[in-house]
Structure 1
Amino acid sequence: MAISLFRLIAILSRKEMKMDINRVLSSVIIGIVIFLGAAGSVQASDMNYSVQANIPANQLDKTKTYFDLRMKPREKETISLTLKNKSGEVATILVEPNRATTNRNGVINYAASNEKRDNSLEVDFEQLISSKKEVKLAPNEEKKVDFTLQMPKRPFSGMVLGGFYVHKKEANTTRAGAKEVQVKNDFSYVIGVKLTESDEPVVPDLRLNEVKPGLENYRTMVSANIQNTSATIVSNLHIEAEVFRQGEEKAIHHVKRDNQAMAPNSNYDFIIPWDKAKLASGKYLLKLKADDGAGHKWDFRKGLLIREKDRALNEEALLLPKERHSVLKSSLIVGGLFVGMISILTFFVIRSRKKSES
């Protein structure tokens, strides 16, 4: 949609309500027009294709459906996936090899990431594997897709973790020379790849990096960057964080999270909500504790400085104390318009389909 619901609410909640409700209504109406123009081309992607890893002889655990390979330095190997198109139409499938990262929810991610490569990562899966492929499948066709693995010359400890992110390529269709907007779900498969050269255990090492104020979904918060500098997965992480004003003993913000996981040699921003309060300039102390399911424990303390310029984030934030009434009212208005827009869109889609069937 031309302008997101979060963005509309954020506009309404800014200090002194700089943009009035009439402009918001106009934006929503424009959104309705755009969606009505797209009513004839609303589609839902389906899983009419399948992906399977072809497990090679050097697989450590042959019960796994992902690659768990024991490799040697300098070794070169071809691994493959089998793609099958189960539909009666031509399908184009994208297969993208990616290094494993950790997303903001504390979940290991195998999709392409915009995050920079972690500075502790020495052996990068993306540099060991051949590049992504675009595979065209005829109706009901099955095809094997090969990738080449080239191990580095120097041996390494621990693991290299990556995966194949597989999804269907959706081409934008046109009718009578005019572009159509398509509304669809994007389903995907992930086939993991774990590479090891020995059974030598690696002790996980977590570090606390930058702590800074910011916004998450237009809510005030502080982010604490946690880094796993070891070549091993850290799983079943329990993290507890407390923020104190400097010199005080009572925590002003507190958060706990369970079942966090981190990919080898990766980092992510652990979010500490500011509990719908404004970011007030001053000095603070963060105390962060973490432990995993294997008995490893970490205890961090780090100072946080919120500067005068950081208070500008309050201008963009939602649900701050003095603005709650106006934001609630504006949210209800915009939310109602959004529901109305979806209802109108659904009506036109159903009517269009009935005309097509008749």
Structure 2
Amino acid sequence: MKKNNYLYVILWAGLLLFLFPNITLAKEEENLGYTVSAVPSSKQIDPEQSYFYIQTTPGEIQQLKVNVKSTRKEPVKINIYPTNAFTGDQGTIEYTEDSKLLDETLKDPISSIVKVDTPSLTVEDYEEKELTIQLTSPKESYSGVKIGALVFELDGTEKDQPVTNKFAYRIGLITSENGDDYKDSKTLNLLDAKSTLKRGKKMVLATLQNPEPKILSNIDIQAEVREKDSKKVVKKTTAKQYNMAPNSRFEFEMDWGTSAIKGGTYLLNMTVSNGYNDWKFEKEFTITGAQAKQMNEDSGFKIITPIWIKAVTIVLLIMTGVMIFVLLKRRKKMESQWKSRKRKKRKKRKKKEVR
């Protein structure tokens, strides 16, 4: 009886391990060795938020505090730097250090008004340190908000990785002079339309811009590309619930697929709506024969037919043609014989009638 009890225990333990494998190990692996938390500021607009949402005054200097706490004995080296909000290709608000991704309408971004006093910090043996970040508001008054994030990155992470893929914690940072609603942008522009290769794919790219210092929220997009002369629709794409960062732009992607692009003049039509505002755009763009040829050749996403399949196809077509020719000739011969027999029967009937 005891042996059976032991067996039941072992079986249950095995089942639990199977259903919930490496729970402790997974938690250890996910632990970067440190945690960060924002210290509430006296200028915090919304004290309920865990990120910084700071009220500013032109030219004012503020000190923001962040607690960095070690969660293990071994030392952990952390790099700290500010980033700016921009709109990613999939209509999401992301963060970047690359100034090339920022729109020209963005003045005094977060990275230009934030100074980290200690850009590199080491914590160890469960210690806690307080980090000071200096926020210097622009001298000129601004409307809306400026959005970015403070990144606390594990030292040793590859520098060329996107911020979203790095081993890091982020604390959001939003600044505003009045604390008004900042998710109600009402302006959207279509800056450009073109066809090019992106990530090895043939695409039509429409550059959309939100020039306001507010978030453009929950936009739905319907887009189609037509040949200008024939009005033939060659591509349709829809997207839902896109969001655009303040003063940002992004390239809305229309994947051409594996079919070959041909040169010509095309029309891009877009309808964009978020339930409060509607926008309609039309933009003409041209693909030269040389561009189309180059994209079709360089694309990593295309249908490549092996030579043997082409050869077999040609042989089958020839055989099919020969069979059709033989069948038609045979049918013609049979019709001729049938008509000949019919004529002979008519002659016989006439002879009988004469008799």
* Fold in common (TM above 0.5): yes
User: Mapping of 1:210-289 within 5 angstroms?
Assistant: 210-289=192-271
How far residue 215 of structure 1 moved from its aligned partner, in angstroms, is 2.0
* Equivalent in 268, 279, 282 of residue 298 of structure 1: 279
* Separation in 2, partners of 1:115, 1:186: 20
User: Mapping of 1:6-45 within 5 angstroms?
Assistant: none
How far residue 200 of structure 1 moved from its aligned partner, in angstroms, is 5.3
Question: What is residue 187 of structure 1 aligned with on the other side?
Answer: 167
Which amino acid in structure 1 is aligned with residue 178 of structure 2?
S
**Bigger RCO of structures 1 and 2 (CA < 8 A, at least 6 apart):** 1
CA displacement 1:207-263 (0-9 Å, x = unmatched):
111211122332211111111110001121211111000033442101111121111
CA contact (8 A) 1:58 1:69 kept: yes
Mean alpha-carbon deviation: is it higher for 148-157 or for 124-133? 124-133
How far residue 111 of structure 1 moved from its aligned partner, in angstroms, is 3.5
* Equivalent in 140, 146, 149 of residue 154 of structure 1: 140
TM (norm. structure 2) is 0.71
Task: Indicate yes or no: 2:178 matched with 1:198.
Answer: yes
CA displacement 1:127-172 (0-9 Å, x = unmatched):
1111471111123121111111111121111111111122201289
How far residue 58 of structure 1 moved from its aligned partner, in angstroms, is 1.6
* Separation in 1, partners of 2:307, 2:37: 53
Question: What is residue 117 of structure 1 aligned with on the other side?
Answer: 102
* Equivalent in 288, 296, 318 of residue 307 of structure 1: 288
Secondary structure, aligned partner of 1:130 = strand
How far residue 46 of structure 1 moved from its aligned partner, in angstroms, is 4.0
Distance 1:71 1:254, change over 3 A: same
CA RMSD of aligned residues (A): 2.4
Which amino acid in structure 2 is aligned with residue 170 of structure 1?
G
Distance 1:242 1:95, change over 3 A: same
Distance 1:137 1:300, change over 3 A: same
Which amino acid in structure 1 is aligned with residue 47 of structure 2?
K
CA contact (8 A) 2:77 2:123 kept: yes
Task: Indicate yes or no: 2:124 matched with 1:142.
Answer: no
Secondary structure, aligned partner of 2:112 = helix
Which amino acid in structure 2 is aligned with residue 280 of structure 1?
K
Structure 2 residues not aligned, in runs of 5+ = 1-28, 159-164, 309-355
* Separation in 2, partners of 1:161, 1:212: 29
Question: What is residue 53 of structure 2 aligned with on the other side?
Answer: 68
- Please tell me whether Structure 1 or Structure 2 has the larger radius of gyration of its CA atoms: 2
Structure 1 residues not aligned, in runs of 5+ = 1-43, 173-184, 327-358
* Separation in 2, partners of 1:199, 1:49: 32
Alignment coverage as a number of residue pairs: 271
Question: What is residue 47 of structure 1 aligned with on the other side?
Answer: 32
* Separation in 1, partners of 2:306, 2:190: 34
CA contact (8 A) 2:157 2:167 kept: no
CA contact (8 A) 1:253 1:275 kept: no
* Separation in 2, partners of 1:67, 1:59: 7
Question: What is residue 165 of structure 1 aligned with on the other side?
Answer: 151
Secondary structure, aligned partner of 1:100 = strand
% identity of equivalent residues: 26
How far residue 116 of structure 1 moved from its aligned partner, in angstroms, is 4.2
* Separation in 1, partners of 2:152, 2:277: 35
CA displacement 1:299-325 (0-9 Å, x = unmatched):
111011111231202112134244489
CA displacement 1:92-151 (0-9 Å, x = unmatched):
111110111111121111242363431111232111111471111123121111111111
